[in-house]
Amino acid sequence: MTRLKQPPPSPPRTSRARPGRWQLQDAKARFSEVVRSAREEGPQVVTVHGRDEVVVVAADHYRRLSGNRSGAALVEAMQASPHRKLELAPKRARMPVRDVDL
């Protein structure tokens, strides 16, 4: 009797298709690795049913993306404007006054 040559085993289902991309079930099972990869390699995309759903990023990267919400950048931009000496006066319309009996 001759044995048929068996094909090589397929890679485990938990291997990532591309670096930085995780299927949800793999990301849940290997969350520590997802976090480490986000810190060392950059953003990690988690997919659900083949669609990108969330991105895990390192905290310092998130802070850079979200920026400082103090408004300092807006103030700097306005102060750097060549038109900062321009006087802006809003136009005011006279409002009719109605008579009131007291």
Query: Is residue 88 one of the residues assigned to a domain?
Result: no
With a CB cutoff of 8 Å and minimum separation 6, the contacts of 27 are: 34, 44, 46, 56
Query: Is residue 98 one of the residues assigned to a domain?
Result: no
Query: Is residue 14 one of the residues assigned to a domain?
Result: no
Query: Is residue 16 one of the residues assigned to a domain?
Result: no
Q: Per residue in 49-101, pLDDT tens?
A: 999 999 999 999 998 888 767 788 888 888 899 888 888 888 888 888 888 88
What total number of domains does the chain contain?
1
Query: Is residue 33 one of the residues assigned to a domain?
Result: yes
Q: Per residue in 42-63, pLDDT tens?
A: 999 999 999 999 999 999 999 8
Spatial contact of 36 and 14, defined as CB atoms under 8 Å apart: no
pTM: 0.53
Question: From residue 76, how far is each of 19, 63, 72, 79, 80 by CA, in Å?
Answer: 40, 20, 6, 5, 6
CATH number (domain holding residue 59): 3.40.1620.10
